[in-house]
Structure 1
Amino acid sequence: MSLEFLLTSLVVVLLPGTGVIYTLAVGLGHGFKASIAAAFGCTLGIVPAAIASIAGLAALLHTSALAFQTIKYLGVVYLFYMAWKILKDNTVMEVSENKAETGYWRIATTGTLLNILNPKLSLFFLAFLPQFISPTAPNAMTSLIWLAVVFMAMTFVVFVAYGAFAASARDYVIRRPSVMKWIKRCFAGTFGFLGAKLAVSD
């Protein structure tokens, strides 16, 4: 495993995407433990993309416009649904002192779906991982699996850090309901933007 792979992966993971935005929203709304569930779910959502890429199935999304468009628009609908839910459903980013009833499995499931319904993730792995494997490597499959595992571990750690940062701002937000109102609008707008961006992608 090269230093180049680690640095490139770190940059990719740090870039704000749907998983980062979701983890920040959960950390801010429900606290640090809930953000760990969100980070776990988002990381788990990488598994199908990694498996598909390693098995060569992601090539189908690259060659079949119908397959790509089907998954893409499912992802678009889900992102718009998340934007609507943040604005209309107070349980998504409800900030309160009581965090005992937070549904961690529900939070993790949502994070998993956000990544599963992103066809560009499979294409990313298909284009990204092979760059760091030698064509003459005797165990290319094993090396690809190892790189995918490291990428996922890095994703989880970085997302937990994002969640911790958001959770640390909870006390400030709890005392200022008007601030939370604007933050919810920003998160909803971001999900809407990401959905629109995915909709026009090729």
Structure 2
Amino acid sequence: MDMLSPVTILSFITTCVIIELTPGPNMAYLAILSASEGRRYGFAAVAGVALGLLVVGCAVAMGVATLISQSAPAYQLLRWGGIAYFFWLAWDGWKTSDNITAQNAQDTPKAARFFKRGLITNLLNPKAAIFYVAILPNFITASSHIQAQAIFLTALYVCVATVIHTIIVTLAGTARTFLNNPVYHRRARRILSLSLAGVAIWFAWSTGYTAP
């Protein structure tokens, strides 16, 4: 892209890698999901996360996220919606821990469900919008193509995030081989459900001070 120099693009990629390697809701959720359900569903969630990040990024390019970042009620509504959703995921995981059966015929609907969860988790994550609002402008060159630059950087960030999330799912999915025993699987799901609740509490704490 002729509007952005190679140095700017490289700097942006480096920033994205550092940010994505910092533990956060996406990393925790994907690791927990992959360890308890397997890589296939982890990858489905990764696709949902990527779409969610892309949608939020495009919203930033159109100025929607800027409005959210400047409106305390809008930010809080999105923030608490995300917290509630994490708690719901924890409750759902705990509830289904007593109904662990092999249902290969339902693989596709189940994958679609985790894709949707990954999508919703990021659409309800105000920190994603704040990231775009706070970070992207630092790498955009003043010109008549600001929106095009924002969309390009958004796509670049989604690519970086997806690569890192895929690696997380691949590594966390190795734990799945130890969970074939129904008893261990049930215990692991309950522990991981409690972990998701912990993620919700951490999410509530970490986003509280960023409210406008």
Q: Provide the rounded CA distance (Å) in 2 between the counterparts of 1:80 and 1:34.
A: 19
Match of 1:10 in 2: 17
Match of 1:54 in 2: 61
Judge conservation of contact 1:38–1:107 (CA < 8 Å) in 2: yes
Q: Provide the rounded CA distance (Å) in 1 between the counterparts of 2:102 and 2:95.
A: 21
Per-residue deviation, 1:132: 0.8
Q: Is residue 2:164 matched to residue 1:158?
A: yes
Q: Is residue 2:99 matched to residue 1:117?
A: no
Per-residue deviation, 1:6: 0.9
Q: Is residue 2:106 matched to residue 1:101?
A: yes
Aligned residues: 199
Structure 1 gaps, min length 5: none
Q: Provide the rounded CA distance (Å) in 1 between the counterparts of 2:207 and 2:23.
A: 18
Per-residue deviation, 1:81: 1.4
Q: Provide the rounded CA distance (Å) in 2 between the counterparts of 1:110 and 1:189.
A: 15
Deviation by residue 1:64-109 (Cα, 9 ceiling, x = unmatched): 21211222221121122122223233289x6x77766331110000
Judge conservation of contact 2:38–2:176 (CA < 8 Å) in 1: yes
Q: Is residue 2:75 matched to residue 1:76?
A: no
Per-residue deviation, 1:45: 0.9
Matches within 5 A, 1:1-202: 1-90=8-97, 101-102=106-107, 103-135=110-142, 137-175=143-181, 177=184, 180=188, 183-185=191-193, 187-197=195-205, 200-201=208-209, 202=211
Are residues 199 and 149 of structure 1, via their aligned partners in 2, closer, same or farther at CA, if it must alter by over 3 Å? closer
Judge conservation of contact 1:80–1:195 (CA < 8 Å) in 2: no
What amino acid maps onto 2:155 in structure 1? V
CA RMSD in angstroms, aligned pairs only: 2.5
Q: Provide the rounded CA distance (Å) in 2 between the counterparts of 1:3 and 1:119.
A: 26
Question: Once structures 1 and 2 are overlaid, which stretch shifts more, 171-180 or 22-31?
Answer: 171-180
Q: Provide the rounded CA distance (Å) in 2 between the counterparts of 1:100 and 1:28.
A: 21
Are residues 57 and 188 of structure 1, via their aligned partners in 2, closer, same or farther at CA, if it must alter by over 3 Å? closer
Question: Between Structure 1 and Structure 2, which shows a larger proportion of helix residues?
Answer: 2
Structure 2 gaps, min length 5: 1-7
Per-residue deviation, 1:182: 6.6
What amino acid maps onto 1:191 in structure 2? V
TM-score under structure 1 normalisation?
A: 0.85
Per-residue deviation, 1:120: 2.2
Per-residue deviation, 1:129: 0.8
Per-residue deviation, 1:5: 0.8
